[in-house]
Amino acid sequence: MGLALSEAGRYIARSIKQSLRLMVGLPDYDVYLTHMMATHPDRAPMSYEDFFRERLEARYGGGKGRCC
């Protein structure tokens, strides 16, 4: 019972964190890393700085940004 409540609390906290990031337009590096490990395991993921720069460019710059 305690473990289930603990897991539920972590899930809710993670969901709130992700929702707040999406509301203000902040990119989520952890989601990107999970995506890269699941979808592109043969490619090295970008550093946080490169990821953040690429996301800003995709949002406000040249119009490209999706890897797939």
Residues 6 or more apart whose CB falls under 8 angstroms from that of 46 comprise 32, 54
Give the residue with greater pLDDT, 40 vs 22: 40
Pair 31, 18: CB distance under 8 Å: yes
Residue 66 falls inside a structural domain: no
Answer whether residue 8 is part of any domain. yes
pLDDT value for 13? 92
Q: Is residue 68 part of a domain?
A: no
pLDDT above 90 (res 47)? yes
What interhelical angle do 48-60 and 29-39 show, nearest 10? 100
Report the domain count for the chain: 1
Question: Could you read off the pLDDT of 21-38 as tens digits, one per residue?
Answer: 888 877 788 889 999 999
Q: Which of 55, 32, 53, 52 is nearest to 44 (CA)?
A: 32
Residue 46's domain comprises 2-61
